[in-house]
Chain A
Amino acid sequence: MMEKLSQQSGTREKFISAANRQKISVNKCVNCGHLMLETILYCEKCSGSKFEDVELEGKGTVVTYTIQAVAPEGFEDAGSYAWVVFKVENAQLRASGFLPGIHTPQELPIGTRVRVTGFDAKHGLMLSK
């Protein structure tokens, strides 16, 4: 059985809260302007630690994905779905999430537009087309 995750707090809680408002919470480095997902504590480019909080629209385009024919534990009841890596709109940034209702590759060409619909305690970052 999949064990329960510990309660998410701090940066993850902030990321989840934004996702539930259909946003993606990111850190913008005050020093160099680099954008990173909320959960990264130091700038990947300059190691700066001062950030401006930014919320991007939870929209993007599919970069790659898989359709999980064999669902891992905890996802057996999810029906056919895709795990998707997507490029966030208006940012050089990628995120990944759970896209239900996908049965075949024909339903999800690379470049398909997706949007964040929320964060589910069981299935993570929820997406829809």
Chain B
Amino acid sequence: MTEKVCVLGAGSTKYGKLNESIIEIALSAAKDAIESAGITPKDIQAGYISNVFGVADKQVHMAPVIMSNLGISHVPGLTIESACGSGSVMFREAYANVAAGFYDCLLALGVEKVTHTGTAHSTTLFSYCSDFFYEGGNGASFPGLFASMARAYLTTHKATEEDLANVAVKNHENGVLNPKAHVRKKITVDDVMKSAVVASPLKLLDCCPFSDGASATILCSEEFAKKSGRPYVEVIGSGRGASPAAVQGREDITTIPSTVAAARQAYKMAGLSPKDIDFAEVHDCFTIAEIIDIEDLGFFPKGKAAHAVRDGATRLRGEIPINPSGGLKSKGHPIGATGVGQVVEVFDQFTGKAGERTVQNAEIALTHNFGATGASAAVHIFRKVDRK
């Protein structure tokens, strides 16, 4: 790797139930990112797109369609799928291509649209992201798979269902401050505990919503970013990891090996450790996921995250704010876009666009996003660039 890679622009649609087609949603985010970067489509040399269920809105081979509708049909595109981790995995590939010097400027965009298929069918579609022969095909929904991880965690570490609920309460607290969040509503531990059981021990309010939405970033070389004269954020660490696709294949069900591996690589590349991170956007598809994530990322020792969340350490003004955007739980989870949306949050935080949810004095941020129950994962670390 020779080139430093920067995020020069970023944009997102609102996450939620959207009426527009998947392509219109994608183009809306692309336009925001292009304008945010102060470039025009003619500056874009490649398009990297992440998406999982385009077929549900009658569109696959999405990259060329997006490029064509941006008026740059000659620009090569690539569509990448890695379940709920598609956005970060795609971002990694886009990052690597700029770092390798293949491109000076590209569009990295994630998009999803599933809510029009209804909750039951969306649940079925998501189950295809599992190791279906062993999991979905044996009756496990995605809430069910994470519920099995939650039961293992609660049994091993003596944490409680109320501890899980605290994650949801905190993320909704942050999401209320995010105008683009899907579910902008404060909730209490009592609300979570009294919500309907989906797959024990997880209840409805332990689960993120199904969302539509798109997020986009403009990635470029440092030279390109400097010439632009605009604010930008530098990518200083990037890591990828993998785990056995099925939960049954993991020696310890209370950790996600792909997260541990990706984080190790990203920290090493950045020359940093978990204590250097000022805030993180992590993959909280279910409350138990955030508990496991923040241990695997090294913010808390194994078995201690639930207590840290209870003590407020991960709140917006806590020692390590987690998911200031509201996370998947409140901001929403359009699965092809989620990993890119995390980068958009970092960009907004570091360029003064995060409003009331701004993490004070933050200079280093981490994003973490995984596919399925963590079969694939990517971690990125970013540095605020002071242009004064």
Report the separation of the CA atoms of residues A105 and B154 in the bound assembly, to the nearest whole angstrom.
13
State whether B124 touches A2 (Cβ < 8 A).
yes
The 7 closest A-B pairs by CB, nearest first: A124-B138, A66-B147, A83-B140, A64-B152, A94-B248, A69-B197, A72-B141
Q: State A64–B201 Cα separation when bound (angstroms).
A: 11
Contact (Cβ within 8 A) B253 A124: no
**What is the total number of residues of chain B having a CB less than 8 Å from a CB of chain A?**
36
For the complex, give the distance between the alpha carbons of A56 and B253 in Å.
Answer: 23
| A123→B199 contact, CB < 8 A | no
Q: Which residue of B lies closest to A15 (CB)?
A: B133
Interface residues on chain A, number (Cβ under 8 Å)? 33
Contact surface of B with A, Cβ cutoff 8 Å = 120-121, 123-124, 127, 132-141, 143-145, 147-149, 151-152, 155, 196-202, 246-249, 253
For the complex, is A29 an interface residue (Cβ under 8 Å from B)? no
Residue in B closest to A123 when the chains form the complex, CB atoms = B139
A124 touches B139 (CB 8 A): yes
Is B138 touching A97 in the complex (CB atoms < 8 A)? yes
Return the chain A residue nearest B197 by Cβ: A69
Within A39-59, which residues are at the interface with B (CB < 8 Å)?
Answer: 39
Is B248 in contact with A75, judged by CB distance below 8 angstroms? no
Can you list 5 residue pairs at the A/B interface with Cβ under 8 Å? A64-B148, A66-B144, A70-B196, A72-B124, A75-B139
Complex contact B151–A66 (CB within 8 A): yes
Q: Which residues of A contact B148 (CB under 8 A)?
A: 64-66, 83, 85
Whether B155 lies near A64 (C-beta < 8 A) is yes
Most buried by A among B123, B196, B200, B201: B200
* Interfacial chain A residues near B138, Cβ < 8 Å: 83, 96-98, 123-125
A65 and chain B: residue at smallest CB distance: B148
Partner of A68 from the list B133, B139, B149, B152 (CB cut-off 8 Å) is: B139
A85-B127 contact given A96-B140, A124-B139, CB 8 Å threshold: no
- Asked whether, in the complex, the Cβ of B123 is within 8 Å of the Cβ of A96, the reply is no
Q: Select one of A2, A67, A124 contacting B199, CB under 8 A.
A: A67
Distance, CA A83 to CA B7, complexed state (A):
43
**In the docked arrangement, what's the CA distance between A52 and B132, Å?**
26
Q: How far is the CA of A5 from the CA of B134 in the complex (A)?
A: 13
Once the chains are docked, how many angstroms separate the CA of A95 from the CA of B250? 10
A110 to B140, CA, bound (A): 18
Q: Please give the distance in Å from A118's CB to the nearest CB on chain B.
A: 13
Instruction: Name 12 extra pairs, CB < 8 A, besides A72-B136, A124-B137.
Output: A2-B124, A63-B152, A64-B151, A65-B148, A65-B151, A66-B143, A66-B147, A69-B198, A72-B144, A95-B134, A98-B139, A124-B139
Contact at B246–A96, with CB atoms within 8 Å?
A: yes
Q: Which residue of A lies closest to B155 (CB)?
A: A110
Partner among A1, A85, A98, A124 whose Cβ is within 8 Å of the Cβ of B248: A85
A74–B137 Cα distance when bound, in Å, is 9
- Encode A90-108 as 1/0 by CB contact (under 8 A) with B: 0000111110000001000
Contact across chains for B127 and A72 when beta carbons are under 8 A apart: yes
What is the CB-to-nearest-CB distance from B51 to chain A, in angstroms, rounded to a whole number?
Answer: 20
A78 part of interface (Cβ distance < 8 Å): yes
Least CB distance, B215 to chain A, in whole angstroms: 28
Chain A residues with CB under 8 A of B200 = 66-67, 69, 105
Contact present for B247 and A96 (CB under 8 Å): yes
Question: Is A12 part of the binding interface, using a Cβ–Cβ cutoff of 8 Å?
Answer: yes
Query: Which of B133, B140, B246, B248 is the one whose CB lies under 8 Å from A66?
Result: B140
Partner of A85, one of B141, B196, B198, B247: B247
Q: Which residues of B contact A1 (CB under 8 A)?
A: 121
Q: How far is the CA of A98 from the CA of B139 in the complex (A)?
A: 6
Of A1, A67, A85, A98, most B-chain CB atoms within 10 Å: A85
When C-beta atoms are compared, the residue in chain B nearest to A85 turns out to be B248
In the complex, chain B residues whose CB is within 8 Å of the CB of A75 = 139
The residues of B that contact A81 with a CB separation of less than 8 Å are 139
Measured in the bound complex, the distance between the Cα atoms of B198 and A16 in whole Å is 29
Chain A nearest CB: distance from B150 CB in Å? 8
| Cα–Cα, bound, A96→B267 (Å) | 35
Is A71 among interface residues, defined by CB-CB distance under 8 A?
yes
Contacts of A5 in B (CB 8 A): 132, 137
CB distance from B143 to the nearest CB of A (A): 7
User: Complex Cα distance A56/B256, Å?
Assistant: 28
Q: Give the residue among A1, A12, A66, A85 with the most B Cβ atoms within 10 A.
A: A66
Given contacts A70-B199, A72-B139, A124-B139, contact A96 B134 (CB under 8 A): yes
